[in-house]
Amino acid sequence: MPKLIITDRSGKKSEIEYDSNFTLMETLRDNGYDIEASCGGCCACATCHVYIDEKWTNRLKDMDDEEESMLDQAFDVKNNSRLSCQIELSEELDGIEIEIAPE
């Protein structure tokens, strides 16, 4: 199974396996990571904000207007900010490194 590397809010790094049928948010949530995702994944809030390691940002599908607009509601938005509910975890993303953004 493909893997992804997560840095949580305390700075702890860990590796988890993922199923490419799920989004990044669903994978984080179902693995017990502290990610609120209050809208449930329909891009209607900004509580699943993550940073994507710069090496991987170009390999993701571009952000659409809706996601970019919702990021207006997030804190500490950076160039590599994304909403994890909008990231489909394909097999090609094996090894992707992400960091959970501050609350």
Partner 1 sequence: MIKLKVFRKNIENFENKNVFYAIRDKSIFKNKKILIAGGGDSALDWTNELSKDSNVTLIHRRKEFRAAPDSVSKMQELETKGKIKFIKGQIKKISKIQDSRIMLEYENDDEKSNIEVDYLLPFFGLKMELGPIAEWGLNLHENLIKVDTEKFQTSTPSIFAIGDINWYPGKLKLILSGFHESALMAQEVFKYCFPDKKNIFRYTTSSKELQKKLGV
Q: Which residue ranges make up the site for partner 1 (CB under 8 A)?
A: 36, 38, 40, 45, 47, 65, 68-69, 71-73, 75-77, 102-103
Pick 10 or 91: Cβ nearer partner 1 = 10
User: For partner 1, which is the closer residue by CB, 67 or 97?
Assistant: 67
Query: DSSP 3-state assignment of 7?
Result: strand
Report the C-alpha gap between 87 and 10 in whole angstroms: 23
61: its two tokens: 């599908």
Q: What phi and psi, each to the nearest 5 degrees, are found at residue 73? A: -95, 0
Q: Which is nearer to partner 1, 76 or 91 (CB)?
A: 76
Q: How far is the CB of 8 from partner 1 (least distance, A)?
A: 17
Q: Tell me the CA distances in angstroms from 96 to 5, 60, 61, one per residue in order.
A: 6, 10, 14
Q: How far is the CB of 64 from partner 1 (least distance, A)?
A: 12
